[in-house]
């Protein structure tokens, strides 16, 4: 498969806006390791091979344990994740799979135990951002261009 279009070249201002959001997210108060787990998990759900590769490499560079990456597809069953991480991963799953039921009250209440309102806003933006990147990469076959 060939890349269909290059959004960065065709719409550089839109791409630049996405990069500004990434710079903001990198400076958020959400722990870097958790940020990468969220990006990796949403990418798994969305089937974005390009983003899975990028965020698994980034997580490993930031000293994430590879066993946790292997277990991420069943995070809710794994003892490798803290309750705080599980709440953020539940939020990731529910926002990523928005058409199922959206972010449930139960998950939102659990997230509030571990994160401030500002951090919940940051988590929401992080999850929305990676979902946008996933959709751009999958719909344009971005992964295939780089292989």
**Which residue in the block uniquely carries the two structure tokens 């108060």?**
29
Count other Cβ atoms within 10 Å, centred on residue 146: 9
Q: What pLDDT is stored for residue 145 in this prediction?
A: 45
Please name which of 103, 131, 111, 123 lies closest in space to residue 30, comparing C-alpha atoms.
123
Share above pLDDT 70 across residues of the chain, in percent, rounded to a whole number: 96
**Domains of the chain, first to last:** 8-145 (1.20.1290.10)
Q: What pLDDT is stored for residue 89 in this prediction?
A: 98
CA 25 vs. chain centroid, Å, equals: 11
Mean pLDDT of 45-59: 94
Q: Provide the whole-model pTM.
A: 0.92
Position 147 confidence tier, pLDDT thresholds 50, 70, 90: very low
Q: What pLDDT is stored for residue 143 in this prediction?
A: 66
SS (H, E, C) the chain: CCCCCCHHHHCHHHHHHHHHHHHHHHCCCCCHHHHHHHHHHHHHHHCCHHHHHHHHHHHHHCCCCHHHHHHHHHHHHCCCCCHHHHHHHHHHHHHHCCCCCCCCHHHHHHHHHHCCHHHHHHHHHHHHHHHHHHHHHHHHCHHHHCC
Please name which of 90, 128, 120 lies closest in space to residue 107, comparing C-alpha atoms.
90
Q: What pLDDT is stored for residue 2 in this prediction?
A: 82
């Amino acid at each position: 498969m060939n890349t269909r279009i290059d959004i960065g070249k065709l719409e550089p201002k839109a791409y630049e806006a996405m990069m500004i959001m990434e710079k903001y997210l990198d400076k958020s108060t959400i722990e870097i390791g958790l940020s990468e787990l969220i990006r990796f998990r949403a990418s798994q759900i969305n089937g974005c091979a390009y983003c899975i590769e990028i965020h698994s490499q980034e997580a490993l560079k930031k000293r994430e344990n590879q066993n946790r990456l292997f277990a991420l597809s069943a995070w809710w069953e794994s003892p490798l994740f803290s309750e705080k991480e599980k709440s953020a991963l539940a939020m990731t799953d529910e926002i990523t799979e928005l058409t199922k039921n959206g972010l449930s009250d139960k998950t939102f209440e659990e997230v509030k135990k571990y994160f401030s309102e500002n951090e919940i806003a940051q988590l929401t933006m992080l999850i929305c951002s990676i979902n946008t990147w996933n959709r751009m990469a999958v719909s344009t076959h971005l992964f295939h261009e780089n292989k």
